[in-house]
Structure 1
């Protein structure tokens, strides 16, 4: 796997800025729209489960599961941005991820934050 498969985040062309901070230097919050989130649930692939089980015996990174989690987080983030944009926001502040097991059949990933309208100061 190349380095591009291990990461995520936004492209420079994104319409909605997403940050993990309370504010953005050089900008002021004109309007708080409210909480937004993007949610996805992914089941585990049988092949990756078997591979992960074998790998756990000898140690090391579970690359198949890492790739799946990156894809899942990116999908949750895309849904977060789509919801913020649909509500008229141009930014999401305090973005976080929440990851939980979903009924022993998959992993739920939720990206959430506060949708706002920012203006340059």
Structure 2
């Protein structure tokens, strides 16, 4: 039986830096835009998961080992994104996105990026 965290991610409810994919946060106003921030990680694929993925691709179905690796990578990129924003005084990241690409045929580059901002509840 797999754990939910193995195949998903996202923020914990009480996070000190709110990350949203929207341009604004309902019930809040943007007091200050700090600027673009990003978190980056590059992961190589280990030989075991590549062999397993190759065999699985012959019969079809989910490549669970690669899925777990991608989830871990995205979560690490997001953690780094939040650290960058926090270190610059932000309490929110607006318009967060992920970008995934191949890195010189040796791994996968995952970049989480967005706009660091200071937001406050509307009075």
TM-score (normalizing by structure 2): 0.97
Question: Structure 1: how far apart are the matches of 2:14 and 2:28?
Answer: 18
Unaligned runs of at least 5 residues, structure 1:
none
Number of residue-to-residue matches in the alignment? 121
2:39 equivalent to 1:18: no
Q: Which runs of 4+ in 1 moved over 4 A?
A: none
Answer yes or no: is 1:33 the counterpart of 2:34: yes
Q: CA offset at residue 97 of structure 1?
A: 0.1
Residue 5 of structure 1: CA displacement? 1.0
Q: Distance in 2 between matches of 1:35 and 1:96?
A: 11
Stretches of structure 2 that go unaligned for 5 or more consecutive residues are: none
Partner of 1:63: 64
| Residue of structure 2 equivalent to 1:44 | 45
Show CA shifts across 1:25-68 (max 9, x none): 00000000000000000000100000000000000000000000
1:85-105 Cα offsets, whole Å, 9 max, x none, are 000000000000000000000
Shift of 1:14: 1.1
1:13 shift after superposition? 2.2
Please, what is the CA RMSD of the aligned residues? 0.6
Q: Which residue pairs with 2:121 in the alignment? A: 120
- Measure, in 2, the Cα distance between the counterparts of 1:12 and 1:94: 18
Q: Which residue of 1 aligns with 2:91?
A: 90
SS in 2 for 1:25: coil
CA distance in 1, matches of 2:111, 2:92: 17
Q: Cα offset for 1:2?
A: 2.4
